[in-house]
Amino acid sequence: MQWVSLNTKQLRAASYDADRQQLLIKTSGGSIRTHKGILPHMFDNLVASDDQNFYYRIYLETSLVSDRRGAGSIARHILKIGVVGAGVLLLSASALTI
């Protein structure tokens, strides 16, 4: 699939597979969003739109089925889970000593 540049701050590029009716969107945050059930004219309208971000939000965002994030994002989520887990353990331990 070939990528087409988008002219928004949030959305960097789009790629479309007509056979699968699948749209991929690269975001400025580094994630790739997968949308299914997208008809060819919807992709064409996104690319041709004067306000691509508005068109995406109104007509395409509801078809989001996956938001694959980069490894850095996964690591941040794991770190957050660890911090929350440590906090729960500390609260549990202090409750036992009271």
Question: Angle 64-70-74 (CA atoms, 0-180°, nearest 5)?
Answer: 95
Alpha helices by DSSP H, listed for the chain, are: 40-48, 52-55, 71-97
Q: What angle do CA 27, 52, 31 make, to 5 degrees?
A: 10
What is the three-class DSSP state of 88? helix
Q: Which of 57, 62, 11, 13 is nearest to 35 (CA)?
A: 62
What's residue 72's pLDDT?
A: 52
- Distance, CA of 91 to CA of 88 (rounded, Å): 5
* pLDDT band at residue 69 under the 50/70/90 scheme: low
For the ranges 27-31, 61-65, 73-77, 82-86, the maximum mean pLDDT occurs at 27-31
Residue 77's pLDDT is: 61
43 or 80, which is more confident: 43
> How far is the C-alpha of 53 from the C-alpha of 11, rounded, in Å?
7
Q: Which residues pair with 64 in a beta bridge?
A: 35
* Tens-digit pLDDT profile for residues 2-58: 999 999 999 999 999 999 999 999 999 889 999 999 999 999 999 999 999 999 999
More confident residue, 95 or 34: 34
